[in-house]
Amino acid sequence: MINVGVTAVGGGVGQAVLRSMQESRLQWRAVGMDTLSLAPGLYWCDEGYLISPVAEEEKYIEDLLQIVEQEHLDLLIPGLDIELEPLARHRDEFRAVDCEVIVASEPTVRLSHDKLALYRFCRQRGLPFVPTYTVEQVQEKGAHTRFR
């Protein structure tokens, strides 16, 4: 059995992860976490916990680590974009207690949150990506000019 923690189970991503787990043929034990007691996903899980908001990073990470250790979580799946950087930053602390956080490296997360930087990164490597412009570029071309 795999013990899986899912954060932000009151939102769309967290709930979608839980639904996917329910549809899976794997043997899962789901532990849900959210900042709100009315988060529906808390009640779809084997166990549910209230945690501190991610804005209180130190307490948030402390809460998660305590739950990971108490519930012997093998995996932690974040349900909110704003959780990605803090979880990437603290990834080694989770690994130290035998839990893998499903998150990219901190530089990769930062890059993915900056659309212009990601566009430039992809363009330099010949990777497809939607053209992206700065506000100044748009103002320079005019609002009605079609970009190519």
- Mean pLDDT, the chain, as a whole number? 94
Residue type, 134: T
Provide the token pair at 32: 């849900």
In the chain, the domains with their CATH numbers are 2-103 (3.40.50.20), 114-141 (no CATH)
| Per-residue pLDDT tens over the stretch 99-146 | 999 999 999 999 999 999 999 999 999 999 998 988 888 888 776 656
Nearest C-alpha neighbor of 93 from the set 60, 119, 122: 60
Q: Please state the rounded mean pLDDT for residues 86-104.
A: 98
Q: Please state the rounded mean pLDDT for residues 17-28.
A: 93
Q: What is the value of pTM for the model shown?
A: 0.86
For residue 71, what is the enclosing H or E element? helix 57-71
Helix (H, G, I), strand (E, B) or coil at 30: strand
